[in-house]
């Protein structure tokens, strides 16, 4: 996964996570990268500094912020795999009890959840757990 600092044509700064630079380029060309503040799809990569671990982190084996986030998500939510969209919608509709979950959803399913007001957010990594 690649994290980019992004800026829209209105000057809003935000970040986004993509599978690759080609993934970003394809989504941007399709108008699927939008400003999180105003919704503009005129988005470009902003100038950013590389994330280089400190000497202390390299020597001590300290986890990166992304790895710390991964560990937190995996420790505090249930992995539901490809059932994510169905589970999130069922919780939102009150059909099953609320709980923290993570998993995978197609772009179509994720967009439908967001449009229907289901509170979801993309993770900046691919889950490594297997569904039970």
First to last CA, the chain: 25
pLDDT confidence bin for 107, thresholds 50/70/90: confident
pLDDT at 86 (0 to 100): 96
pLDDT confidence bin for 131, thresholds 50/70/90: very low
In the beta sheet, which residues pair with residue 2?
Answer: 18
Query: Mean pLDDT over residues 16-27, rounded?
Result: 85
C-alpha triplet 37, 69, 81: angle, nearest 5° = 90
Is this model's pTM higher than 0.85 or not?
no
pLDDT confidence bin for 76, thresholds 50/70/90: very high
- The tokens describing 99, both together, are 């709980």
Angle between helix axes 84-92 and 107-115 (nearest 10 degrees) is 10
The number of angstroms, rounded, from the C-alpha of 99 to the middle of its chain's C-alpha atoms is 19
C-alpha triplet 101, 104, 110: angle, nearest 5° = 95
């Amino acid at each position: 996964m690649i994290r980019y600092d992004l800026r829209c044509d209105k000057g809003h700064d935000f970040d986004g996570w993509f599978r690759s630079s080609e993934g970003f380029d394809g989504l941007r060309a399709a108008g699927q990268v939008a400003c999180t503040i105003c919704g503009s799809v005129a988005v470009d990569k902003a100038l950013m500094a590389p994330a280089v671990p400190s000497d202390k982190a390299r020597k001590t084996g300290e986890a990166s912020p992304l790895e710390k986030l991964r560990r937190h998500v995996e420790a505090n939510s249930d992995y539901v795999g490809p059932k994510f969209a169905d589970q999130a919608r069922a919780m939102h509709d009150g059909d099953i009890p609320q709980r923290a979950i993570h998993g995978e959803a197609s772009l179509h399913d994720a967009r439908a959840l967001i449009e229907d007001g289901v509170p979801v957010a993309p993770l900046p990594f691919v889950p490594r757990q297997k569904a039970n």
